[in-house]
Each structure stands twice: as structure tokens, then as C-alpha cells.
Chain A
Amino acid sequence: MNDSTPIRRRVRTATGGISDSRVNDAKTQSQYQPYKDAAWGFINHWYPALFSEELGEDAVEGIQICGIPIVLRRVNGKVFALKDQCIHRGVRLSAKPMCFDKKSITCWYHGFTFDLETGTLVTIVANEEDKLIGTTGITSYPVQEVCGMIFVFVRADDFPDADVPPLSHDLPVRFPERSEEFPHPLWPAAPSILDENAVALGMHRTGFTNWRIACENGFDNAHILVHKDNTIVQAMNWVLPLGILPTSDDCISPIEDEDGPKGMMQWLFTDRWAPVLENKMLDIKVEGLNGRFYRTSVVLPGVLMVENWPEEHIVQYEWYVPITEDTHEYWEVLVKVCPDEKAQKDFKYRFDRVFLPLCLHGFNDCDLYAREAMHDFYADGTGWDNEQLVSTDVSPITWRKIASRWNRGIAPPGRGVENATKHSPIKYRRLSEGKAPGYFVEKIND
């Protein structure tokens, strides 16, 4: 460095063409700045990792959430989760699972062996006396298995065990315990995966957008236009509005109780929202006959609940689990209370024949491509500044503010993990083999 003229890091250019009438003016945007910063998701929250049936006894799987690689192993029925990155040289343990006993997992490369429960380095296969043993380890993640789903508390390395909240704080509100607060006269109380005899059937797949784009789509009341021509809507003759407009300031209630989930409830199908059934100028009219009442709410870390959907006594949950800043694992789960074996069988039958093909695929496939269509605009971050939001966007704006306020931490950009850098020769090789970047570790076959 010499004393020559100082140089600017970069030149700023003004952006123009943004209307002063947009709802997301500078002040509103600043209120959700933390959300704009959360490209890699919110850390220190419970996320679904796998369906129980995806992890059999003694099985090992590697996944990635919020830029953190996680290895899961089931031993004697119990699931353990550790950071899937050997402390030695960063190898993913799950790429070639090696377990010599029921208490540990060993890195297949140099034999570093970690306690399943605590993550402590307990031995090195060919170096039993090394002084590193016992002094270090990999982060362990609390696990809870509920209703056929494995949830992992994805935390920062220094997040204390004592501060881990109950899973119910990161799940949608429950009914009937909150029926008085959020009355639902048009449908029966929505079930929860925490209910007795609840059955969760669903799927998860990788979405190729930032998680926030996907999450906001779930409760965006103007987006239902993309579903106008869906088979299930037409076949059932549903009245699915072209859009739903807010009519009063209390169209959304924040959910901010101290001892519970944080998010918001939309008062759909009350006088606080007006369904739009036609556009005269364009001569479009909804022709359906059968009312299809539902209500959406969302809680941190991005869990959607669609009550009374796709039919009575069923609720649809969705998660948009961040993998990297441009991929997420999209979870669609239908929950129903099935008190006996027959009810379970009937639900499974209807799920396989109707809900899976026509709802989770047919209906929600539209959401997937709609989200991907938004990705490029937001990919470099400028979309969050340049979008021009309107009155119906009260939903994403309220969500962003609440998420900014109550998240337990903004995940730092992933480092040393798959797809954290966009140019990896291995990624290109995989692409050439027809394998897209995704959620699961690619296992080594030999």
C-alpha cells in the first residue's frame, strides 16, 4: 500500500423507476431489515429433517439446513443428529457411513470417532493416544420425533442446551385450545401433529429458490390466481377467489404470546377480507359453486398452516427449510386425527389416490414453478429493494416484520459446505451426470 490516491471500493449507481405509492417504502423496509438479511434462514429453530420412515434402524443420512450439514443416525429406535463435518478436515461423515458401535459415528476417512449423544471426539481409529481426543467435537442437535416426522433443532455451535425451546414453539397454533382467540365457525377445529392419534402424510422435495420466496407464496392472498385452472379446483367445482383483498386494519393478527409460537393469523373468510370473484375489465368470473373455506397462518421459522384444507378435518402444513441461500426443502404435509386403524387406512388411501396427485402435486406444483419464476429477481438481493408491493401484500410485510422481531438468530452464510460456493468442479460433474443440487448428501458407492 502506498500513499497514492485512495480508491472507492465500488461506485454506487442510483436506481430509478420506483413508484412513491408502493407499500414497501423505505421506512417499512427498514422495519424488516433483519428478514432481508436472512438469506440463509433463521437459526436456532426446530425444522423437519426427515420422515421417520426415511431413517430406519442403524441408517445414516446426511442433509443440510440453513447452510449447516447435519448427519442423522437411528440407534435402538432413537435418532441422533450431529454436525456432518469432521473437525479434522471437514469431510461429511454421512457420505460413507461408518459406525463400529451403537454409541458413536466414525469419519470414514481418517477414523475420527464422535460420541453420538454429545458430538465429543472420543477416539481416532489409528491414533488412540492423540491429545486432541476429548478436547473437541462436533455440534450436536436436539432431536424430537413426532407423528412420523423427525425434527431437529438447528442451532449455532454455541447455543446452550438450556435455552432450547419446546418444539411446540416452532409449530402452528393448536385448536381447540385457541379456538376462542381465533374462532373458525365455518370449519371444525384443525388438527395438529401434536394431537393424539394424529397422522401426517406428505412429501418433501427441493425447491430452487430462496426459502423466503417460497414461504411468502404460501400465505400470499393474491397468488391464488395461479390455482384458477387447477384440476382439483375445477373437478370439485370450488369457489376459489381470484384474490382476497384486505378490508380492515385488523385483517391479520400477530401471534406473539410469550410462551408459544410467533407468527401471524389471517382472518380469511371473515368481513376483514373480501374475496374477489370477478374482474369486469378483463371479463373473468369465478364459476365455482362449492364454498371452499380455509385460513392461512404462518409461524417462525416459516411454517404454514392451511386450516380446513384440502377438506374438512384435515390441515395442510408446509415448511420451506433453507438449504442454501438459493435452495430450500419444500415440505407438504397433511395431518388428520385417525383414532383407529380403519381411519388411518382410509386417510392413506385417499391421500394416495386424491391428495398426493391432485393437491400436493397438481395444486402445489403451480406454487413451485411460480416461486421459481420469482427467484432471479431476488437472487442477488436487489429484488428486496426493488419490488413494488401493493395492498394485498400486507401479508408478506406483516410476516417479515414479525419474523424480524422474533427470530432466534440469522443464519450466517454457509461456509465449507455443499453449494456455498457456486463454482465447484464436483457440482459441475454432478450436473453433467444429471443430478441437481439438493438436500441429501450424495453417498459414495464402492
Chain B
Amino acid sequence: MTDIARPIAPVPLSGGDGPASSGAVHTVALHFSDGVERVLQVAEGELVLDAAIAAGVGISHQCRSGSCTSCIARLTSGSAEMRSGSCSLLASEKAAGHRLLCLTEASGPASFTLPYGSTSIGAATEAQAFINTIEQLASDVVRLELELADGFWLDFKPGQFIQIKVPGSDAMRSYSIASTVADLPRIELLIRLLPDGLTSDWLRNRARPEDVVSLSGPYGSFFLRAAPATIPHLMVAGGTGLAPMLSMIDTLRARPGRKPKIVLSFGCATRDGLFHLEPLELRQHWMPSLETRISIDRGAPEDGVRVGNPVAAILDGPIDPASVAYLCGPPGMVSAARDALEAAGLSPENIFAEQFVAST
């Protein structure tokens, strides 16, 4: 076992447009939220993320293909454009200076700000883990409980994800951790079953307790930020986007002293896809400052379950503009929630989001 960070997916070589031959090198400054500045020398045409990784600077990243938005940063001066191709940033986000560093090239001196601290993104480690339980929670959701094998450990922040090597393939898949550091060596994941997904097929047909899986992590810049207990926390989760919220809620709950007010809006498509209602009720019992709102997109309303989307549910009540918000779910839900919360007065810097990456 090594604990050297390594790229978690092959670097996509965008058809031959490698570093240009001009040989120009640009100075790129990265400003982290803890006030630390790191300066990179980025060759003309080189990707900023690649330069940062080569320099050992901790930048959150995952897909390295412009879809997951883990590596989002904001350009504050200079010029830096993203390579053409598919990119999940909205035009308005680009206009506001947002860039995905995995697609961004430097074409002159530039400065970026990053929404996390310089030491937030630790080196990922590789580990092996036993499967403790595979439990189907709803029509399309499985709870997978792993236990790190003897001699393996990994630290993570509540909200971060790990990657699992899907047994029987070389593919890696990312899942947010639903448990907390205090639960280690146990790691709990919530996995959505797709009709013909790689992981889904493995979970349905082959995975058994006591099997061993390889994983690596932690990854991601979506994690619980330090905030005073007087700041309300808003959480919007779609489907298995509940996982990082559970980790954050349990971490907040276990902290001594005053707890912040938390409103968790959790939505699923249909009633038979809804899951984890009991654990959520339990957490409300344990933590009087937690309120949960459960929604289904379609179906009949019932006690404690409203019909509608989780974004509408989070807006159903007064919103303190000083709140911090955590969003995790499908891209449509995340962007709708972001727009709605910004409209409600939240500062964009206080909205943290993780959206699902389409995978098979």
C-alpha cells in the first residue's frame, strides 16, 4: 500500500492540442480561502489542474473532463479560458469568472480564488475494505457498508467522497460517504441503482458480504465548512445526494456545545424510491435543532411527505440570508436550488454544491 496521491482517472488528452510550442510560461496564482497563496508556473496550453497536481498543490478534482465541477475556481484577474468541448458550467457562471481548472489553460498571468483552504484537500490514499452489508433501502437505492481492512485507514471531511474500483472492471466510481470519521473503520455509502449501470450490475448480481473492494479517497471540495452555531444551515438533497448531508449532520450533532439550526430538504422521484425516513426521524429526535422536509416529485401526499421538489420545500419558510447552504443531487436540482437561494439573499460564497456525475 502506498499513500501517495495519484491521479484518480486517466488524464483526458484532448486530441492533439497539447502544450503549444511557443514555450511561453505563465505565472498563475491560486488564492485559497485560508489566505494562503500558491504560485504555479503554467506552460502555454498546459492545463492549470495538471500544473497544480505536478506541483503538489491540493486542488479538488474528480472527473477531469469538465463535468463534475469539483475543480471549480474563480478567475479574479488575468485571462484564462477553458478548452472547447462539453462543460457543465453555465454561460452565466463563466461570465461571472468561474472556471473548471481541469479544462482551463493559462494564456497569460492569472489569479484564481478557490472556495476552500490550502490544506483542505489532503492526499488521497488507497485502501481495501470488506463489505459488511448490502441493503436495498428503496426500489433504486442500496446502502453499502464497508469496513476498512486491518492496516488501512483514511481520513475525510464530512461531505467528501471516495472512489471504488468496481470489481470485475477497471472502472472507478465516486460515492459520497454517508458516515462520519467517528464511524471509521466503517464507511457507509448510498448508491443509486441504474437499470444497466456497472456498479448496479455488480451490486445486484455479484457483490456479497465479506467481498473485498479497493477504494481511494477522500476527494472533493464539497465538505462541511466551519461556521458559528448561530448560522443556519440549509441542506437540499436529491436521492442519494442525502449521503453527504448525513455525514455533515452527524458531525454537527456530535460536536459539543450549541448546534446550528439545520433545515434538510430531501426529495426523491416517487414514494417507492424514498428511503432513510427512520434514520432521519431519529436524527430529529437526537437533535432538536434539525428540521427535515421530505418531498416526492410525483404521487400522493401523505403524513410527513409532501409532493413537489426539494427546492420548493426548502423555500417553504423564512430563509435567513446569512445561512450557509449545501446542495447535492442531480444537476438540475442543484442549479435550481442555487438560483433560488441566491434570490433569497444567500451569498454565492456560502452555497456549496456537489452534483451527480452521469455514469453507467
Q: Is the Cβ of A43 less than 8 Å from the Cβ of B256?
A: yes
Chain B residues with CB under 8 Å of A409's CB are 255-257
**B150-175 vs A: 1/0 string, CB under 8 Å?**
11100000000000000000000000
| Minimal beta-carbon separation of A181 from chain B (angstroms) | 20
Chain A residues with CB under 8 Å of B129's CB are 6
Q: Which of A9, A163, A405 contacts B150 (CB 8 A)?
A: A9
Q: Is A408 an interface residue (CB 8 A)?
A: yes
Query: Which stretch of B4-12, B31-39, B282-290 is in the interface?
Result: B282-290
| Minimal beta-carbon separation of A7 from chain B (angstroms) | 4
Q: Is the Cβ of A6 less than 8 Å from the Cβ of B257?
A: no
Q: Is the Cβ of B255 less than 8 Å from the Cβ of A34?
A: no
How far apart are the CA atoms of A30 and B257 in the complex, in Å? 22
Closest to A163 in B: B258
Q: Is the Cβ of A7 less than 8 Å from the Cβ of B151?
A: yes
Q: Is B91 an interface residue (CB 8 A)?
A: no
Closest to A5 in B: B212
Q: Is the Cβ of A410 less than 8 Å from the Cβ of B130?
A: no
Q: Is the Cβ of A8 less than 8 Å from the Cβ of B130?
A: yes
| Minimal beta-carbon separation of A73 from chain B (angstroms) | 26
Chain A residues with CB under 8 Å of B130's CB are 6, 8
Q: Is the Cβ of B254 less than 8 Å from the Cβ of A410?
A: yes
Q: Is B51 an interface residue (CB 8 A)?
A: no
Q: Is A226 an interface residue (CB 8 A)?
A: no
Q: What are 10 pairs between A and B in contact, CB < 8 Å?
A: A7-B149, A9-B149, A27-B278, A34-B253, A34-B286, A43-B256, A44-B257, A155-B256, A408-B258, A410-B256
How far apart are the CA atoms of A156 and B150 in the complex, in Å? 32
Q: Is B128 an interface residue (CB 8 A)?
A: yes
How far apart are the CA atoms of A401 and B147 in the complex, in Å? 29
How far apart are the CA atoms of A3 and B214 in the complex, in Å? 11
How far apart are the CA atoms of A228 and B287 in the complex, in Å? 40
Q: Is the Cβ of A6 less than 8 Å from the Cβ of B150?
A: yes
Q: Is the Cβ of B147 less than 8 Å from the Cβ of A9?
A: yes
Chain B residues with CB under 8 Å of A6's CB are 128-130, 149-152, 212
Chain B residues with CB under 8 Å of A406's CB are 288
Q: Which of B253, B257, B282 contacts A159 (CB 8 A)?
A: B257
Q: Is A296 an interface residue (CB 8 A)?
A: no
Q: Is B1 an interface residue (CB 8 A)?
A: yes
Closest to B3 in A: A1
**B240-272 vs A: 1/0 string, CB under 8 Å?**
000000000000011111100000000000000
How far apart are the CA atoms of A409 and B286 in the complex, in Å? 12
Q: Which of B212, B254, B285 contacts A401 (CB 8 A)?
A: B285
How far apart are the CA atoms of A121 and B239 in the complex, in Å? 52
Q: Is A404 an interface residue (CB 8 A)?
A: yes
**A1-44 vs B: 1/0 string, CB under 8 Å?**
10100111100000000000000000100110110000000011
**B177-214 vs A: 1/0 string, CB under 8 Å?**
00000000100000000000000000000000000100
How far apart are the CA atoms of A406 and B282 in the complex, in Å? 14
Q: Is A160 an interface residue (CB 8 A)?
A: yes
**B288-331 vs A: 1/0 string, CB under 8 Å?**
10000000000000000000000000000000000000000000
Chain A residues with CB under 8 Å of B285's CB are 31, 401, 404-405
Chain B residues with CB under 8 Å of A31's CB are 282, 285-286
How far apart are the CA atoms of A187 and B278 in the complex, in Å? 43
Other than A7-B150, A163-B258, give 15 A-B pairs with Cβ distance below 8 A. Answer: A6-B130, A8-B147, A9-B148, A31-B282, A43-B256, A158-B257, A159-B257, A160-B257, A163-B257, A405-B287, A406-B288, A408-B257, A408-B258, A409-B255, A410-B256
**A155-181 vs B: 1/0 string, CB under 8 Å?**
110111001000000000000000000
Chain B residues close to A by CB (< 8 Å): 1, 128-130, 147-152, 185, 212, 229, 253-258, 278, 282, 285-288
Chain B residues with CB under 8 Å of A404's CB are 285-286
Q: Is the Cβ of B256 less than 8 Å from the Cβ of A408?
A: yes
| Minimal beta-carbon separation of B108 from chain A (angstroms) | 43
Secondary structure dominating the interface of A: loop
Chain A residues with CB under 8 Å of B229's CB are 163
Chain A residues 400-429 with CB under 8 Å of chain B are 401, 404-406, 408-410
Q: Which of A156, A405, A408 contacts B286 (CB 8 A)?
A: A405
How far apart are the CA atoms of A383 and B288 in the complex, in Å? 28
Chain B residues with CB under 8 Å of A1's CB are 1, 151
Chain A residues with CB under 8 Å of B278's CB are 27
How far apart are the CA atoms of A360 and B130 in the complex, in Å? 54
Q: Is the Cβ of B286 less than 8 Å from the Cβ of A8?
A: no
| Minimal beta-carbon separation of B171 from chain A (angstroms) | 21
Closest to A156 in B: B256
Chain A residues with CB under 8 Å of B253's CB are 34
Chain A residues with CB under 8 Å of B256's CB are 43-44, 155-156, 159, 408-410
Chain A residues with CB under 8 Å of B150's CB are 6-9
| Minimal beta-carbon separation of A415 from chain B (angstroms) | 15
Closest to A42 in B: B256
The 8 lowest CB-CB distance pairs between A and B, nearest first, are: A409-B256, A6-B149, A1-B1, A7-B150, A156-B256, A6-B128, A9-B150, A159-B257
Closest to A157 in B: B256
| Minimal beta-carbon separation of B197 from chain A (angstroms) | 26
How far apart are the CA atoms of A33 and B212 in the complex, in Å? 29
Closest to B253 in A: A34
Point out which of A3, A6, A8, A30 has the most chain B C-beta atoms below 10 A from its C-beta: A6
Chain A residues with CB under 8 Å of B287's CB are 405
Q: Is the Cβ of A8 less than 8 Å from the Cβ of B257?
A: no
How far apart are the CA atoms of A404 and B255 in the complex, in Å? 13
How far apart are the CA atoms of A159 and B228 in the complex, in Å? 12
| Minimal beta-carbon separation of A322 from chain B (angstroms) | 15
How far apart are the CA atoms of A158 and B258 in the complex, in Å? 11
| Minimal beta-carbon separation of A161 from chain B (angstroms) | 12
Chain A residues with CB under 8 Å of B282's CB are 30-31
How far apart are the CA atoms of A34 and B212 in the complex, in Å? 31
How far apart are the CA atoms of A156 and B256 in the complex, in Å? 7
Chain B residues with CB under 8 Å of A159's CB are 256-257
Known: A404-B286, A405-B286, A406-B288. A8 touches B254 (CB 8 A): no
How far apart are the CA atoms of A9 and B186 in the complex, in Å? 11
| Minimal beta-carbon separation of B150 from chain A (angstroms) | 4
Closest to B210 in A: A8
Point out which of B1, B150, B212, B278 has the most chain A C-beta atoms below 10 A from its C-beta: B150
Chain A residues with CB under 8 Å of B151's CB are 1, 6-7
How far apart are the CA atoms of A66 and B322 in the complex, in Å? 35
Closest to A404 in B: B286
How far apart are the CA atoms of A92 and B179 in the complex, in Å? 38
Q: Is the Cβ of B149 less than 8 Å from the Cβ of A156?
A: no
How far apart are the CA atoms of A9 and B150 in the complex, in Å? 5
Chain A residues 28-84 with CB under 8 Å of chain B are 30-31, 33-34, 43-44
